[in-house]
Structure formats: structure tokens, C-alpha cells
Amino acid sequence: MDFSGIWQVIWNVLNSPAVIAVLAGGMLWLLNRLYAAKPAWQAFEGTIIAAVKWAEKEIPDDTPNKALNRLNAALNYVTKVYEQARGKPADSKVQTELREGIQIVHAELEASGNLDKAAPTEG
């Protein structure tokens, strides 16, 4: 049997404009699906900013494990808002995404100098 003729036909079909258009459309659809899948924390970024600033003010600097305590306090704050907004508690995957979002937002606030604990008092 001569398979070279069959392979040539298959190659010609795969290189046809119709098949290339279908493949390109499929890739575009897949990329749009991947782009639309944003982390859960981005929808709550404003709440996360408020939670990070609140935790910085509420938990003193001399507290043992202050970073972990602040992270947990901010996470509790955000998960309560999440539950109120969505009507259901955050599962472990969403909690992980929210925790990562809190850490990202904290780093951004700290780097930009917007994490001031309190305005300086006159005196």
C-alpha cells in the first residue's frame, strides 16, 4: 500500500483555509476563556485594601507573629464580606486565592507608601 498519497491528502485538508480558520477560532476561544478566569480576590480588591489597612492599625507592632496575625485578621474580614456578597462561605480554594490577594495588595500598598498606620499627630 502507498501511504504517501493518503498523507498528502490529509496534509492538504489540514492546510485548507477552512481547517485553519476553525483551529484559529478554537485557539481564540480558549485564550478568551483563560483570560476571563481571574482570581477571586480581584473582585474584592477594595475590600482587601480596607482589610489590610484595618489589620495594620488594629494589631500592634509588638505583637508576636504580627504578620501572621495581621494576615489572618485581614482574611477573616475579607471572607465575611465575601460570604455576605455571595451568600455562601468561601471554599478552601477561594480562601487560598483571597490570602494570596491580601499578600499581593499588602506588598503593593507597602511599596507605594500607602500603608501608613496613622496620620502624624501635631505636638
pLDDT digits (tens, 9 = 90+) for 47-66: 999 999 999 999 998 989 99
Cell of 35: 483570560
What is the per-residue pLDDT for 46?
A: 92
What is the mean predicted confidence (pLDDT) over 69-89? 94
Among 99, 91, 44, residue whose Cα is nearest residue 70: 99
For residue 3 the three cell numbers come to 501511504
Candidates 110, 102, 93, 8; CA nearest to 47 is: 102
Does pLDDT of 40 surpass 80?
Answer: no
In this prediction, residues 8-15 reach a mean pLDDT of 87
Number of neighbouring beta carbons within 10 Å of residue 22: 11
Question: To the nearest whole number, what is the mean pLDDT of the chain?
Answer: 85
Instruction: Determine the pLDDT at residue 39.
Output: 80
Residue with cell 500603608: 115
Cβ-contact 79, 99 below 8 angstroms: no
Tell whether the model's pLDDT for residue 120 goes beyond 80. Answer: no
Statement: the pTM of the whole predicted model exceeds 0.75: no
In which residue are the cell numbers 484595618 written?
54
Tell me the C-alpha distance between 102 and 83, whole Å: 16
pLDDT digits (tens, 9 = 90+) for 93-115: 999 999 999 999 999 988 888 87
- Determine the 3-state secondary structure of 95 from DSSP: helix
Element (H, E) at 7: helix 3-14
